[in-house]
């Protein structure tokens, strides 16, 4: 069993919504990335996305785009992300996923990337710019499954019905729905159409559903209970770190994530 399945099963047995958070490898530096991962795991998250930095992260808003640029400025490479994954895949005791863009995977070599990611302990891949149609040529899902990793399918509020059906049919682990049109980024209020989007997806699939993009508060997580299976908080974690006093930034993240984790119950 993939560890994602086991974690989803545990979340359901606890009768709560899951929580996934996000870190950009190398932002603001590798040492702090380590502290952030360890802190979030200790604070009670269910999954963590480790984003491999890329020069043109099209799905990311200002916070994550800046983090990607800073990490690249530190010359962070895929090998650094692999090492970080290997370091935490056993000690964190929760599923860790790589999030990146397909150019990174393609340049590394699709089969080699899947092999090395799996050996490092990765449970799943989120590659938002690779459409399902390219599977015939690039075979990312095939090679991932050969190494017991899931490729998490991403959906948008405007994904047409035939694409919903295709993605639902090939999905493993969970589906990832963006809760709003556009790029990632914290919002004060949930998009008013988010629940309609969730209902749309559920008409085509009974797969567990993660919802991200704009989820930034414990109140958002409480609103999503009973609708989504996993809430994804990305940009706001880095905002909390960035806005805190430098001497207390990790503590600020710990308090924030604990508040989010408490809201899942």
User: Rounded to whole angstroms, how far apart are CA atoms 155 and 167?
Assistant: 8
CA distance 47 to 214: 18
Cβ proximity of 149 and 124 under 8 Å? yes
Please, where are the H alpha helices in 190-248? 194-202, 218-224, 235-243
DSSP state of 152: P
Q: Which of 14, 46, 49, 56 is catalytic?
A: 49
Tokens 């890329």: give the residue.
Answer: 54
Catalytic residue (choose from 5, 42, 46, 60):
60
* Residue 14 annotated in active site: no
Phi, psi of 143, rounded to the nearest 5 degrees? -70, -35
CB-based contact 236:221 (threshold 8 Å): no
In angstroms, the CA 253 to CA 259 distance is 10
Comparing C-alpha atoms, which of 175, 111, 157 is closest to residue 166?
175
Burial label, 206 (beta-carbon count in 10 A; 0-12, 13-18, 19+): exposed
Residues whose CB is less than 8 angstroms from the CB of residue 247 and which lie 6 or more positions away in sequence, other chains included: none
Is 49 among the residues known to form the active site?
yes
| Tokens at 109, concatenated | 């070599």
Give the separation between CA 92 and CA 38, rounded to whole angstroms: 7
**Catalytic positions, please?**
49, 60
């Amino acid at each position: 069993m993939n560890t994602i399945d086991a974690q989803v099963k545990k979340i359901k047995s606890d009768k709560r919504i899951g929580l996934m958070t996000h870190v950009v490898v190398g932002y603001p530096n590798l040492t702090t990335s380590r502290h952030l991962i360890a802190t979030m795991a200790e604070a009670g998250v269910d999954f963590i996305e480790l984003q491999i930095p890329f020069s043109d992260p099209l799905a990311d808003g200002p916070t994550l785009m800046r983090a990607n640029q800073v990490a690249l400025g530190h010359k962070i490479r895929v090998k650094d992300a692999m090492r970080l994954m290997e370091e935490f895949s056993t000690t964190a005791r929760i599923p860790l996923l790589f999030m990146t863009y397909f150019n990174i995977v393609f340049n590394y070599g699709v089969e080699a990337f899947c092999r090395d990611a799996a050996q490092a302990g990765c449970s799943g891949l989120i590659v938002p710019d690779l459409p399902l149609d390219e599977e015939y040529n690039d075979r990312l899902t095939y090679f991932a499954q050969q190494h017991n990793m899931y490729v998490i399918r991403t959906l948008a509020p405007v994904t047409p019905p035939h694409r919903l059906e295709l993605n639902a049919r090939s999905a493993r682990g969970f589906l990832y729905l963006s809760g709003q049109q556009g790029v990632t980024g914290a919002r004060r209020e949930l998009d008013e159409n988010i629940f309609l989007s969730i209902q749309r997806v559920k008409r085509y699939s009974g797969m567990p559903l993660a919802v991200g993009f704009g989820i930034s508060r414990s109140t958002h997580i409480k609103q999503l209970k009973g609708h989504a299976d996993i809430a994804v908080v990305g940009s706001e974690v880095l905002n909390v770190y960035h806005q805190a006093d430098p001497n207390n930034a990790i503590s600020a993240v710990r308090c924030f994530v604990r508040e989010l984790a408490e809201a899942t119950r």
